[in-house]
């Protein structure tokens, strides 16, 4: 028995499992595992991938992204962008209903109207909600009709302070899902445990640390290209096993329908070759899905003179940061540690797959001699006199950090690795308590601004994503200029200039640009995927 599961929960799991098995014999149930768990099913708390994937099945917004990262209709059947990009007007479909619930009259779900979106969006910016997604409405002009207006039941408008081209993509995020006011206000914090949305699946049951069960929504409004009602599946089962080996074994036994990513390198060779393709002996059993993932894995430097107990921060010297960037071979790192899943971080901070990709800038190549020259210029020839540098990480990335440690030692830079649990590590980074740390940035929407906001000086942590505390006046001006232009070609040039500044000033070490990697059994079809690593199961089919 896995540690941490009480006898009561185990008993409940077995009882429910026996009942479910009998009921599900003739049903198609898609099962996947979420190793980091789900903390809330309230879309206002959809910050982690586990929460996002779960809420995607339960809720809808005005718009959604297709597999090509294009914004397409969802509850809104159409929209207009008016007044030079200051007003977004949406016309809603009239056949979208909330899930049935005892809180509704006659326990039947009611139709979604524009006022529901006005309430849902105001709830995100309400401090009492404590939503980590409050920032998504930073460009909204709340002085004009409160920022959001329900013109009538079918017309909903949003007003911006200035044009912001990525805004439509932002509205595809799970934070922007519609929720029913009467149920949210009755359940309050319990809404995250007993959600009611409009999505293709309905909440059924949730046992902490054990499993989450969702059932098909029989009145869902979306249909496929042939007019068939979605979804095809009867149910979804999400388990919460934390051990990667156990997850892998359950997948290979057929108890899980999907394996996402390679959480544990110990089994990667069993699935993929050194070139990143599916092993030949697996091709009769499995299907591998792979595409660029808008996720940059990096190491961050804290841009402060001192850190901790007022100790001098040698990493505030740009030459040392650049030496670290030159001092290890990213190409070999990807080959031997990642089986070439992803691409080496030899460009700027912006990953593969974003609009304007032709303007990507060149980053750091492996050049140990250049690293040594920079150390000498900084007053540390061959690393003599340079204090040992502490690199903070989590166990999941220990192999990458050890590779870096070994290679940097050859140029005279000694690295000490400090491993902490994920929550502890996140707190240390967010509160600027460590000078060198591992981090990643997964795009919230498909625009380079999302990445470049990490280095805007008004976004300093803990109130923003600027974990390095990087500040550059030229960079800030370019960032602000890019927000005010609706001409894509100008924005992309600004983005490239900003990325060049990041390369030159080196507040980060780009490790690699990630890749979406999923495996399914041959009896699963229709699994969609995009560069944001979203998971929508409404078009999935499974044969028993």
pLDDT in tens, 219-239: 999 999 999 999 999 999 999
> What domains can you pick out in the chain, each with its CATH number?
43-192 (3.90.76.10), 293-516 (3.10.105.10)
Q: How confident is the model at residue 375, as a pLDDT?
A: 97
Q: How confident is the model at residue 17, as a pLDDT?
A: 52
Reply yes or no on whether the pLDDT at 264 is more than 80. no
HEC secondary structure over 410-443: CCCCCEEEEECCHHHHHHHHHCCCCCEEEEEEEC
The whole-angstrom separation of Cα 393 and Cα 372 is: 25
From 15-19, 112-116, 409-413, the region with the lowest mean pLDDT: 15-19
pLDDT category of residue 309 using cuts at 50, 70 and 90: low
Q: How confident is the model at residue 268, as a pLDDT?
A: 80
pLDDT tens per residue, range 346-358: 999 999 888 888 8
Q: How confident is the model at residue 308, as a pLDDT?
A: 64
pLDDT tens per residue, range 36-89: 899 999 999 998 999 999 999 999 999 999 888 889 999 999 999 999 899 999
- Residue closest to 435 by CA, chosen among 403, 395, 402, 387: 387
Between helices 330-337 and 398-409, what is the axis angle to 10°? 140
Decide if 35 contacts 244 (C-beta within 8 A): yes
The whole-angstrom separation of Cα 299 and Cα 61 is: 34
Helices marked H in 152-300 — which ranges? 167-170, 181-187, 244-252, 268-271
Reply yes or no on whether the pLDDT at 24 is more than 70. no
- Residue closest to 251 by CA, chosen among 271, 236, 269: 271
Q: Mean of the pLDDT values across residues 141-158?
A: 98
Please give the distance of CA 443 from its chain centroid, rounded to a whole number. 6
Q: Give the C-alpha distances (Å, rounded to integers) separating 62 from 41, 73, 142, 179, 416.
A: 19, 7, 20, 12, 48
Decide if 200 contacts 538 (C-beta within 8 A): yes
Rg of the chain over CA atoms, in angstroms?
Answer: 24
The whole-angstrom separation of Cα 293 and Cα 365 is: 22
Decide if 461 contacts 453 (C-beta within 8 A): no
Q: How confident is the model at residue 266, as a pLDDT?
A: 65
Q: How confident is the model at residue 67, as a pLDDT?
A: 83
Reply yes or no on whether the pLDDT at 143 is more than 90. yes
Q: How confident is the model at residue 463, as a pLDDT?
A: 81
Buried b (16+ CB within 10 A) or exposed e, 502-514: bbebbbbbbbbbb
Decide if 59 contacts 243 (C-beta within 8 A): no
Beta bridge partners of 520: 258, 287
Q: How confident is the model at residue 4, as a pLDDT?
A: 43
Q: How confident is the model at residue 55, as a pLDDT?
A: 98
Buried b (16+ CB within 10 A) or exposed e, 321-345: bbbbbbbbbbeebbeebbbbbbbbb
Reply yes or no on whether the pLDDT at 19 is more than 60. no
Decide if 300 contacts 437 (C-beta within 8 A): yes
**What tokens appear for 472 in the block?**
């550059």
Residue 369: is it exposed, middle or buried by C-beta count within 10 angstroms (0-12/13-18/19+)? exposed
Q: Rounded to 5 degrees, what are φ and ψ at 224? A: -80, 180
Q: Using CA atoms of 169, 429, 352, 456 in order, give the dihedral in degrees to the nearest 10.
A: 60
4 compared with 379, residue with greater pLDDT: 379
Residue with tokens 């929550």: 423
Q: Rounded to 5 degrees, what are φ and ψ at 437? A: -150, 150
- 76-82 β-sheet, strand order: 76-82, 87-92, 155-159, 148-150
């Amino acid at each position: 028995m896995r540690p941490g599961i009480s006898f009561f929960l185990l008993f409940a799991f077995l009882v429910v499992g026996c009942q479910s098995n009998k009921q599900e014999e003739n049903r198609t149930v898609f099962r996947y595992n979420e190793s980091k768990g789900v903390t809330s099913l309230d879309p206002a708390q959809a910050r982690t991938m586990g929460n996002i994937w779960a809420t995607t099945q339960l809720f809808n917004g005005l718009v959604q992204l297709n597999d090509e990262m294009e914004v397409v209709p969802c509850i809104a059947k159409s929209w207009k962008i008016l007044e030079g990009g200051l007003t977004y007007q949406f016309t809603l479909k009239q056949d979208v209903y909330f899930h049935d619930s005892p809180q509704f009259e006659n326990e039947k779900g009611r139709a979604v109207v524009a006022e529901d979106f006005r309430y849902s969006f105001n709830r995100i910016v309400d401090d009492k909600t404590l939503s980590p997604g409050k920032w998504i409405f930073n460009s909204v002009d709340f002085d004009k009709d409160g920022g959001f207006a329900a013109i009538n039941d079918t017309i909903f408008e949003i007003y911006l302070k200035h044009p912001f081209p990525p805004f439509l993509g932002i509205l595809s995020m799970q934070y922007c899902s519609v929720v029913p006011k009467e149920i949210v206000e009755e359940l309050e914090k319990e809404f995250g445990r007993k959600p009611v949305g409009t999505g293709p699946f309905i909440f059924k049951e949730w046992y902490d640390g054990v499993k989450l069960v969702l059932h098909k929504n029989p009145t869902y409004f979306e249909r496929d290209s042939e007019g068939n009602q979605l979804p095809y599946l009867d149910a979804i089962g999400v388990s919460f096993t934390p051990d990667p080996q156990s997850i892998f074994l359950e997948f290979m036994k057929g108890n899980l329908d999907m394996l996402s990513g390679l959480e544990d390198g110990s089994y990667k060779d069993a699935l993929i070759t050194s070139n990143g393709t599916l092993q030949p002996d697996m091709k009769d059993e499995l299907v591998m899905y792979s595409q660029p993932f808008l996720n940059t894995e990096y190491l961050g430097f804290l841009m402060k003179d001192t850190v901790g107990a007022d100790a001098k921060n040698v990493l505030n010297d740009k030459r040392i940061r650049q030496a670290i960037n030159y001092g290890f071979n990213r190409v070999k790192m990807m080959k031997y540690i990642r089986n070439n899943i992803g691409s080496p971080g030899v460009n700027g901070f912006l990953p593969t797959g974003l609009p304007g990709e032709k303007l990507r800038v060149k980053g750091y190549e492996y050049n140990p001699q250049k690293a040594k020259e920079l150390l000498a210029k900084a007053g540390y020839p061959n690393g003599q006199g340079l204090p040992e540098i502490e690199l903070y990480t989590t166990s999941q990335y220990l192999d990458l950090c050890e590779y870096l440690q070994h290679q940097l030692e050859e140029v005279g830079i000694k690295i000490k690795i400090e491993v902490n649990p994920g929550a502890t590590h996140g707190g240390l980074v967010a509160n600027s308590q460590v000078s060198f740390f591992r981090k990643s940035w997964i795009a919230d929407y498909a625009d380079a601004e999302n990445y470049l906001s990490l280095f805007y000086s008004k976004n300093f942590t803990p109130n923003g994503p600027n974990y390095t505390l990087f500040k550059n006046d030229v960079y800030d001006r370019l960032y602000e200029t890019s927000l005010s232009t609706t001409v894509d070609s100008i924005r992309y040039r600004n983005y490239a200039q900003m990325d060049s500044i990041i390369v030159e000033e080196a507040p980060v070490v780009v490790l690699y640009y990630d890749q979406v990697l999923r495996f399914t059994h041959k009896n699963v079809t229709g699994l969609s995927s995009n560069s944001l690593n979203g998971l929508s199961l409404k078009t999935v089919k499974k044969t028993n």
